[in-house]
Amino acid sequence: MPRYGAFAGAAARRVVPRPARAKQRAHRPVGRPGPVAAPFGAERSAGPCIGYAVGMGKLAVPLIVLVLAIGVLFAMDRPTPPADFRFINRGDVKTIDPQRLSWMQDIRISNMLFEGLVVNDVFTQGYDIAPGVAERWEVETFEEQVGGETLLRERYRFHLRPDATWSNGEPVTSQDFVFAWRRAVLPDTAADYAGFFLLIRGVQEFSAWRVQQTGAFAERVRGLDEAGVAEAARALWAETERRFTEMVAVRAVDSRTLEVELNEPTPYFLDLCAFATFCPVYPPLVRQYDVLDLKSGRISARAGWTKPDMLVNNGPFRLIRWRYKRDMYFEKNPRYWNAGAIAVDGVLVPSVDEPNAQALAFGAGEVDWVSDCTVPYRVEMLEQKRQFYREHQAEYDRLAALGLDQFEIDRHLPPDPRKNVHAVPAFGTYWYNFNCLPRLPDGRENPFHDARVRRAFAMMVDKRAICDTVQRIGNPVRRTMIPPDSIAGYTSPRGLDCISDAQTPEAREAMIAQARALLAEAGYPDLSRFPTVEILFNKDGGHDLTAQSVARDWEQNLGVKVRLAQKDVAVFADDLKKANYMVSRAGWYGDYGDPTTFLDLSRTGDGNNDRKYSNPAYDDLLAKAKRERDPAKRMSILSEAERIIMEEDLPLVPLYGYVNVYLMDVDRVSGVNPHPRSDQKMYLIDVLGDGKGEDRPRVMRRRIEDPPFAPAR
């Protein structure tokens, strides 16, 4: 999953590319106690009003002035025709180049402009794969003898639709995909998600060859004049193109047929093909900006081709205007193969950094959707939403029992501005790492090397208190790494109970006694002599409040001493990488719809295994799952692997699930989905009642064959 931008609480870390996450994701701030919000304003249909008063005394007037200024800006710059839909992205866009993306806000915009071979149907529970540029595909497995060993391979053959065209009218071809994927894996300018491509046969070998060649280039051309160096650089690039064709199993069989061979069968490969980095780019244009450095032999990628007046793209929208720190404006792409299904002609994305101003802009009717509401008083906003539900409890329960998604439930309830704030579960989990090494970097013995110690400490965290008194925005308690109901066909184990599961004082005392017994078994009968526990976390993002809560639990329930180690994000990230900690805060957002996007993190030697955990039984289960061809059996094997780390070994203790807080009037807007994977497709947006598109709400459904729209009421 991509990084989260402007309000991130931790820096991302680049790791060795692999077919999972390219870097640790930054985390948004947790909720803090904030000022009591004034009541929501009048309904937006009644006209612009500032409905989300901040209730912050002296700040109120300047913020109102700010949002009015935003309104004036929109009015002065309103395009012709005006935008049908306006939303505030997570932060300013840094790039729309599919092979250079990393941040969530960049990916969301890039997905408006480019389309890959396939797409996810984001309104199905399983995020089912649907045709994109490829109208159909075949998959086959085959055996290959390598060094006396029989290896099982997988081959995909994609057939491109004849009506897939670039915005200039040229056809999208299989060669365009080969060009784009080569850009993604080329070490000179490798994508942040280059590791995803390592599943493809030959990519790792090609990348290693290119690194060796460019690394030796300076020595090779020593003594040559400028013309000789330039000629050597051009020769090396010609050889690189030839090597890619020979070594990497991505082939344009013809202009409309793309063939890809994988090192081994990979059930989630199509899910990766739906990811933005796998989208094609237009070679005649991009070649002009991917420039060969004649002195170093390396390719240097320049961004000029992504400007509105230059861009050639194949997705649902065209970029008409991009003014950094001001706005982006899009119009429907008439040459997109499915343009007739798009229900908005224009989309405006204003740049509004200040969280209060974002909320006020929504309340004033200047924007239709705020994609990441981070105002301090969102806690009170969500409490007002819960109060609204309590006022309609019987009807809410009836609708929930029917299986309606949370947005559709809101549509069936009476109009009320309080229901315009939404806490939506995300595809991520916040947890605490335990360092599993025998000794800490300074030579001290590490008590958390023992799984019994880790289990005891994990049991004593009051997760409910963290969710209810620290977070306060509806985060669900987590017992497992993988968010429930986020991956089709997968069921997580129960996980380890914690102190907040104890319903009576007697049950609580029994759990404390159980934890202390585990510590005694591990050699710590006298907990007053237990080494001081150090919790590492970074500044900002509310991580200090969570650490204080956990420390209090361990001190009160176990009688140990706890020291909080708050550090700047750069130092924090370095300590985490070097395992220079006892306990640390951490978390993860899944990249693709398979349990391995989380479970690979605890594999021995994995680049993101910051816990330095190693268990051959766990590694063997992951390897067994790779070999298993039956999908149900494979998921069962992976569930057992998660059980080992969540109920027995506890290299980490999950605390809560992340949530996204949206501002949106669901009676007016359809197309934003409540699925935990949080991938919003702007081409699905429909402003209800405007006479365009279906003018019916899209609803979550179990299967791709089920009706996509709510029945008429």
What average pLDDT does this structure show over 411-438? Answer: 97
> Tokens representing 432?
């605490």
- Listed in order, strand segments (DSSP E) in 161-289 are 250-254, 257-262
Question: Rounded CA gap, 351 and 329, in Å?
Answer: 11
Q: At 523, is the pLDDT very low, low, confident or very high (cuts 50, 70, 90)?
A: very high
Tell me the per-residue pLDDT of 78-92, one tens digit each, with 9 for 90 and over: 445 699 999 999 888
User: What's the pLDDT tens digit per position in 203-235?
Assistant: 999 999 999 999 999 999 999 999 999 999 999
Determine which of 68-82, 487-501, 666-680 has the lowest per-residue pLDDT on average. 68-82
| DSSP strand pairing (669-670 vs 533-538) | unpaired
pLDDT band with cut points at 50, 70 and 90 for residue 26: very low
pLDDT of residue 259 exceeding 50: yes
pLDDT band at 49 (very low <50, low <70, confident <90, very high): very low
What's the maximum distance between 2 C-alpha atoms anywhere in the chain? 84
- Whether 558 and 566 have beta carbons less than 8 Å apart is answered as no
Q: Which of 152, 441, 123, 133 is nearest to 316 (CA)?
A: 133
Burial of 438 (0-12, 13-18, 19+ CB in 10 A): exposed
As a whole number, mean pLDDT of residues 333-345 equals 97
* Residue 495 clears pLDDT 70, i.e. is over it: yes
Residue 6 pLDDT exceeds 50? no
pLDDT for the residue 191: 79
Which residues are CB-neighbours of 47 under 8 A, at least 6 positions away? 365
The distance of Cα 228 from the centroid of its chain, to the nearest Å, equals: 46
Cβ-based burial of 442 (10 A; exposed 0-12, middle 13-18, buried ≥19): exposed
Buried b (16+ CB within 10 A) or exposed e, 460-493: bbbbebbbeebbbbbbbbbbbbbbeebbbebebb
Which among 94, 673, 87, 132 is positioned nearest to 330, based on CA atoms?
Answer: 87
Residue-wise pLDDT for 500-512, tens only, equals 999 999 999 999 9
DSSP 171: B
pLDDT the model gives residue 298? 95
81: preceding bond cis by omega (within 30 degrees): yes
Under the banding of pLDDT at 50, 70 and 90, the label for residue 70 is: low
What is the share, in percent, of the chain residues with pLDDT greater than 70? 88
Whole-number pLDDT of residue 541? 79
Q: SS3 of 522, please? A: coil
Which residue reads 């989380």 in tokens? 598
Please name every residue paired with 251 in a beta bridge, in sequence order, or none if there are none. 259
Domains belonging to the chain, first-starting first, are 98-306 (3.90.76.10), 428-658 (3.10.105.10)
Beta-strand runs (E) in 6-103: 13-14, 23-24, 85-88
Give the DSSP H/E element, type plus range, for residue 131. Answer: strand 129-131
Q: Is the pLDDT of residue 31 over 60?
A: no
Lookup: tokens for 341: 């299904």
Report residue 15's pLDDT band, with 50, 70 and 90 as the boundaries: very low
How far from chain centre, in Å, is Cα 612? 24
Quickly state the pLDDT bin for 711 (edges 50, 70, 90): confident
- Helices then strands, counting H and E runs in the chain, come out as 20, 22
What are 448-472's pLDDT values in tens digits?
A: 999 999 999 999 999 999 999 999 9
Name the least confident of 4-13, 150-159, 251-260, 342-351.
4-13
Query: Could you tell me the two tokens for 550?
Result: 């956990």
Q: What is the overall mean pLDDT for the chain?
A: 89
Q: What is the pLDDT of residues 576-592, one digit of tens each?
A: 999 999 999 999 999 89
The pLDDT assigned to 279 comes to: 98
Task: Give yes or no for residue 20 having a pLDDT over 50.
Answer: no
What pLDDT band is residue 68 in, cutting at 50, 70 and 90? Answer: low
pTM for the structure as a whole? 0.85
Phi/psi at 467 (5° precision): -65, -40
CA atoms within 13 A on the CB side of 183: 27
Average pLDDT over residues 12-38: 32
Q: What is the pLDDT of residues 359-374, one digit of tens each?
A: 999 999 999 999 999 9
% of residues, the chain, pLDDT over 90:
81
In 3D space, the residue among 587, 125, 589, 659 whose CA is nearest the CA of residue 426 turns out to be: 659
Count other Cβ atoms within 10 Å, centred on residue 166: 20
* Model confidence pLDDT, tens digit, residues 431-449: 999 999 999 999 999 999 9
Residues in the chain, total: 713
Helix (H, G, I), strand (E, B) or coil at 65: helix
Tell me the Ramachandran region of residue 576: left when phi exceeds 0, alpha when psi lies from -120 to 50, beta otherwise: alpha
Q: What value does the CA radius of gyration of the chain take, rounded to a whole number of Å?
A: 27
Q: How far apart are CA 565 and CA 575, in angstroms?
A: 11
| Chain CA centroid to CA 599, Å | 16
pLDDT tens figures, 573-630: 999 999 999 999 999 999 899 999 999 999 999 989 999 999 999 999 999 999 899 9
The 10 Å Cβ neighbour count of residue 361 is 27
